[in-house]
Amino acid sequence: MGTPIIQVKNLQKFYNAGKLSEVRAIDDVSFDVFQGETFGIAGESGSGKTTTGKLIMKLEDITGGSIEFLGKNIHEIKSRKETLQFRKNIQMIFQDPFASLNPRLTIKEIIGGPLELHHMVSSKKERDKRVGELLEEVGLSANFAERYPTEFSGGQCQRIDIARAIALKPKIIIADEAISALDVSIQAQIVNLMRKLKREVGLTYIFIAHDLSMVKYISDRIAVMNRGKVLELGDSETLYRHPLHPYTKSLLSAVPIANPITEKNRKRIIYNPDQHQYKDNDECGLFEIGDKHYVYCSKQEIEGYKRQLNNELTKS
Amino acid sequence: MELIGKKFNFVSKNKLKELEQLSQVQGTDQNNDSYIKTVLKRFFKDKVATVSLIIFLLIVLAAVLAPIIAPYSPSKSVGYFEAAPSGKFLLGTDDVGRDVLSRLIYGSQASLTVGILSVLIYAAIGTTLGLLSGFLGGFWDSVIMRITDVFMSFPYFIVILVVVSLIGPGLWTVTFAIGFLNWPVLCRLVRGEVMKLRKVDYVQAAVASGYNTFQITFKHIFPNTLGIILVNMTFGIATSIITEASLSFLGAGVQPPTPSWGNLMSDAQSINVLANEYWQWLPPGIMILLAVLSINFVGDGLRRAVEGK
């Protein structure tokens, strides 16, 4: 694995901290994202995956811990010059393709504005040419540039959103539920477009989604999140074949199988967080069970998980 | 058989036409226009709003063209006192012998000037402060909001009366008094909208692109608040016209001999006029009603068009 591009260390994000209504959206989350990989974050709604994305994008303030981008703590980025540098290198694709494009700006302004802001084009003519190229790159017609977002379908808007994200030639793109709002046929198109861009430009992705099958399809490594914690982290293949944490098992059991016979026998595993019953003095955390395969558990549980993994490995 | 066949044919042809029309309608419904064009299209689909807009524009036109269309001078006597409407004086004359129709036409100038100018003044103040409040947030937001609270707790009409009596009544005093006192509602509205839009994805996307807060507020958020500002301004014109009329009726507004709809109606304070000379106070009353109603319908139509309902 290459060098880490993003290092998340003991990240915390509490809303209404200290009050009765305190919500621990992110509670002690750590992971690294390496150059050139696709890092998937899966989990149900409210598990904190979107918040994680927003914190990495510096769209919200963090409560505790740190996020380092290329070795620099993003919390310490203050000056305008550094901010622009940071923004240029990290971009986001949003969940709702309609809500992420300003209805009062033309496509040309939406994609071309950031280009001008970062002095990546020197004239209006050059900007328009570049916008045309970008639109064609994401599979749209260059003459869409004069139009407004309301004139496009969801899939087209998502492509425009992607064109905006890649316009600045970022090092990493965070795709926050980038395909959940789309038709299944268009989901595949967008995912393939993202893979194509990754091959061609060598992008790094953080792919956030609740659909574990889609996350597995696109990601090299996956973190499974629930209730603001990473519960399991590992290679997508390993995680898929040998899920250890009961929550991951539950998520995987919810994925429909495209085979009527096996689908008929598929059993949903219900996850009940109370089954752990950690005591206050238990030291809980992410522990390495298999090769680069981490599971959130207490120290007492480590041996059990290790045995479970060994059993499964010898079986297969 | 032939008959049935014909009948069937007839029906199906009709149906075909209907379907064609339907598809055409759907074809035009497909959104290929800019935002402004769509709003205008929606607006003009609303018949009441369209007719109201025409009426309001006619009133504006009458005010602008007053010197050309008014049959007599609004301030000079025509020689007949308190004459009933006739072919020569369509709306009769008043107690000093001035033509009521001419005064009514000239009166629309004063009423519309106050209505439109005062709204422009308060819209400028309210929008600027609302944007600043939402954009600066924190301390400055609290400061601006507390000032707004103070202004909102003024007994508005009494303050205007005090201001007018201190500076002296007149068209400009009324315009500025309404303009400087009426901004808080719009300010709150704009601030709320800015707060709401700050969390919207496209604004977050603008942040992620590296725009600074100033650029985001004025380039990305402000254009999206124009709809509600415009709607609020439309209703504001109606309210200002009524305020002007009330002030002029009380003698604190536009001063005679300059006519305004309000001070024309103040003639009805005399029992004789009220009872026997309806032509002196009924026409300005109808004009106020017509102007305010049409503006309110336009505002309603505009609101629906902007909201897309």
What residue ranges do the domains of chain B occupy? 1-30, 35-307
Confidence at residue B55, expressed as pLDDT on a 0 to 100 scale: 93
Residue of A nearest to B35 (CA): A104
Q: What is the pTM of this model?
A: 0.77
What is the pLDDT, as a whole number, of residue B18? 61
pLDDT tops 80 at residue B269: no
Strand A23-34 with A4-15, pairing:
antiparallel
Q: What is the pLDDT of residue B25?
A: 44
Helix B183-198 and helix B100-136: axis angle, to 10°? Answer: 40
CA distances from B67 to B47, B61, B100, B101 (A): 32, 11, 15, 12
Task: Evaluate if residue B170 carries a pLDDT over 60.
Answer: yes
C-alpha pair distances (Å), A41 with each of A30, B23, B197, B258: 12, 45, 27, 73
- Beta carbons within 8 Å of A295's beta carbon, 6+ residues apart: A231, A232, A233, A244, A245, A286, A287, A289, A305
Is there a contact between A248 and A232 (Cβ–Cβ < 8 Å)?
yes
The string of pLDDT tens digits covering residues A249-301 is 888 888 888 888 888 888 888 888 777 777 777 778 888 888 888 888 888 88
List the structure tokens of B256.
Answer: 């005679």
Contacts A100 to B, Cβ<8 Å: 201-202, 204-205
Confidence check: pLDDT of A79 > 80: yes
Percent of chain B clearing pLDDT 70 (strictly above): 88
* Least confident range of A138-147, A195-204, B273-282: B273-282
Tell me the two tokens of residue B75: 């301030």
- Residues present in chain B in total: 309
Predicted pLDDT of residue A240: 87
pLDDT above 60 for A162: yes
- The answer to whether the Cβ–Cβ distance between B210 and A151 falls below 8 Å is no
Which chain B residue has the Cα nearest residue A176?
B201
When the pLDDT of each residue in chain A is averaged and rounded to a whole number, the result is 87
* Interface list for chain A against chain B, based on CB atoms closer than 8 Å: 54, 57, 59, 80, 83-84, 87-88, 90-92, 94-96, 99-105, 113-114, 117-118, 148, 150-151, 161, 164, 168
pLDDT at residue A181 greater than cutoff 80: no
Query: Over 60: is that where the pLDDT of B28 sits?
Result: no
Whether the Cβ atoms of residue A107 and residue B39 lie closer than 8 Å to each other: no
Give me the pLDDT at residue B12, please.
Answer: 57
Q: Do A114 and B209 count as a contact with CB atoms less than 8 A apart?
A: yes
Name every chain A residue with its beta carbon within 8 A of the beta carbon of B35.
Answer: 103-104, 148, 150
Q: Give the residue from chain B lying closest to A146, CA to CA.
A: B34
What's A292's DSSP letter?
T
Mean pLDDT taken over chain B: 83
Q: What is the mean pLDDT of residues A153-170?
A: 89
Q: Looking at chain B, which residue has its C-alpha nearest residue A84?
A: B210
Distance from CA of A147 to the nearest CA of B (A): 7
Q: What is the CATH number of domain B35-307?
A: 1.10.3720.10
Residues of chain A contacting B31 with CB distance shorter than 8 Å? 150-151
CB-nearest to B34 from A101, A118, A148 is A148
Nearest chain B Cα distance for residue A151, angstroms: 5
Sheet holding A72-73, edge to edge: A23-34, A4-15, A64-69, A72-73
Mutate to test the interface with B, among A88, A148, A176, A206 (most CBs of B within 10 A): A148
Distance CA A248, CA A271 (A): 9
Contact A114, A197 (CB under 8 A): no
B35 CB within 8 Å of a chain A CB? yes
pLDDT of B4 strictly over 80: no
Q: Which residue of A has its CA nearest to B226?
A: A104
pLDDT for the residue B16? 56
- Sheet of A172-176: strand order equals A90-93, A172-176, A204-209, A38-43, A221-226, A229-235, A293-298, A284-290
State how far the alpha carbon of A135 is from the alpha carbons of A138, B32, B93, in Å. Answer: 5, 19, 70
Chain B environment of A168 (Cβ under 8 Å): 209
- The least confident of A76-90, A245-259, A266-280, B146-160 is A266-280
Residue B32 has pLDDT above 70, yes or no: no
pLDDT in tens, B88-102: 777 777 777 788 888
Place of tokens 């409407």: B85
Whether the Cβ atoms of residue B187 and residue B151 lie closer than 8 Å to each other: no
Write down all domains in chain A, each with its CATH number in brackets.
Answer: 4-315 (3.40.50.300)
Report the DSSP beta bridge partners of residue A13: A26
Distance between CA atoms of residues B309 and B303, nearest Å:
9
- Tell me: pLDDT of B7 over 50: no
B residues 172..231 contacting A (CB < 8 A)? 200-212, 220, 223-224
- Taking residues A70-81, what's their average pLDDT? 88
Contact B208 A113 (CB under 8 A): no
Contacts of B203 (CB under 8 A, 6+ apart): A102, B197, B216, B220, B221
Share of chain A above pLDDT 70, in %: 99
The alpha-carbon gap from B146 to the nearest alpha carbon of chain A, in Å, equals: 24
Least confident stretch, B34-38, B107-111, B278-282 = B34-38
The average pLDDT across A205-224 equals: 88
For residue A194, the distance in angstroms to the closest alpha carbon of chain B comes to 18
Question: A33 pLDDT band (50/70/90 cuts)?
Answer: very high
Q: Higher-confidence residue: B39 or A66?
A: A66
What's the confidence (pLDDT) of residue B89?
74
Say whether pLDDT at B24 is over 50: no
